[in-house]
Structure formats: C-alpha cells, structure tokens
Amino acid sequence: MLTRPRTRFDLIPRRVRVHAVRELSGSLRRTTFRDVDGADPAAPTSLAALRAPGPEDHVKVFLPDPATGVLHAPWIAADGGLQRPADGVSISRDYTVRATRTVDGVAELDVDWVLHGDEGPASAWAARAQEGDEIVLAGPRGSLGVPEGLGRLTVVADETGLPAAARWVDAVGPGVPVTAIVEIGDDVDEAHVEAELGRASVEILYRTDGPGQVEEAVRSLGGLEADELLVALGEAGELVPVRRYLRRELGVGPEQLSISGYWRRGVVNLDHHLPLDPTDPD
C-alpha cells in the first residue's frame, strides 16, 4: 500500500515583497518573493524558515485591499488559527509553492499565477505586481510527501495544477516513470509545459477542443499498476468524472489517488480541501 508521509508545521504569517516578475507563457506569470526590507533572516517569520517539502504544499496568499491598496495582515489567534483584522478587507487565496531557494545567502520563494483579467482579486493583483509590492504568505501548515515504494506516477493537470505537477516530477526522482496529461488554453505554449515537466511523457490537450477530453485521456491509459499513484489537479468539474471512473469502475483505492479541485467554474474562491465529489466523499 502506498502511504504518503505527513509533516505538520507551525502556521506562521510572513510579510514578503516582490523581488522579480517573470512572464512564463501567455496567461502564466511568476513572482519571486523575498523578505521585506529590515526583516531578520534568522527569525521564524523569515522565508528562510519556511518549509515546503511536499510537491503539493501551498501557502495562503493575503492580498492588499483592491480598493485602497492597504495590506491588512493576519495574525495567529489563541487557538492557533489565522485571525483576520475586523476593520479592513482581507482577501486570501491558496497557491502552490513553486520553488524555494537561497541566492547569495538570501531566501527566495516562487509563486506561479494564472491571469484571467480582473475577474478575480488574485489575478488582478498578479497582473500588476511589480518589484517592492508587499503581501503576506501564511503556511504551509502541513506537508504530504512522496509515498515510499512508488513505481510509477501519472499526473493530470491544467494551468493551475502545473506548478504542483512540475514539483511532483522533480520529487519522485529519475527512476520513476512519469506520464502527464495537461489541459491548457490556446495562449499557453506547449514548449513551456514540456519544459516545466522535464523528463515526463507529456500529452497536451487544448481546452478549446471541448469538454470531456481529460476523462477520455485518463481512460485511454487503462488501469493503474499496484505501485502507481495518480495525481489530478485542476478544474473540479473536469476531475469528478475522472475520479468516478477510477474509484467506481476500476475500483482504485484512495491510497493510489490524490485528486484535488483547485477551482470550479462559476464558484468564487473554491475550498480545495472540501470533497471533490460530494456524492462520494471518501
């Protein structure tokens, strides 16, 4: 049985600033963060103290009030949870930690964003972000690692799941075969997807070709091997039939699946911790 090691961390808000912005491909943008000026690099609140070892580890990103530009930072309450200020707008979204590193002794962290105009506050902020802008990152609070004994990995993702998919490819090591199915919009270059996923065998689907492609692509792979893990990350509506096929038709156990809806059409700020399919929450 595949078992993923679990690690818990203290929940710590960290105030950071944009160090660099990089256009990746079409609607994809990467921001590199460093500690704010004057921060103590040895303090628990520094980026150097942040740990995100698991491929799907994420932080809660707190953004400035879109109307005023004021950043209302949260703090840790007595119960250990995050407390938001009552006298200001506090907007947050969850984002995968794409990478962490140290450059010339300075800790850095990358977050990749999918831009879709001003329809959402995160997209609107990321589209205008520039060097020196400040936000708050909270977490990760927990981490799920790569299961021991993994023999094969299949990753299913769209643009929102691409950072985690890329981290999965890096995390499993060169001895584990990886198959990736990625659905993208027309403005995302195939070359970027293939570069992010490195040595994986990649099948790219275009969203404009219509719904149902992701399920068909997963069905075409056949069943999972006993030591295989399937990770699926993206739009919840596309992943529900994938999960039903694997769980109900093939009888794949939950220990071989990691399926998470990062967003859902028509839903604002979807909680990806909720069951993907309420009719089958296991």
- The SS3 assignment for 70 reads coil
Compute the C-alpha angle 21/26/27, nearest 5°: 70
Nearest CA-CA partner of 238 in 218, 216, 211, 260: 211
Yes or no: domain 146-263 corresponds to CATH 3.40.50.80: yes
Distance, CA of 92 to CA of 81 (rounded, Å): 14
Q: For 60-84, how does the pLDDT look when each residue is reduced to its tens digit (9 = 90+)?
A: 999 999 999 999 999 999 998 899 9
The domains spanning 6-141 and 146-263 adopt the same CATH topology = no
> Given 2.40.40.20, 2.40.110.10, 2.40.30.10, 2.60.40.10, which CATH number is that of 6-141?
2.40.30.10
Distance, CA of 261 to CA of 249 (rounded, Å): 20
Q: For 183-235, how does the pLDDT look when each residue is reduced to its tens digit (9 = 90+)?
A: 999 999 999 999 999 999 999 999 988 888 999 999 999 999 999 999 999 99
Mean pLDDT of the chain: 95
pTM: 0.95
Sign of CA dihedral 91, 132, 70, 52: positive
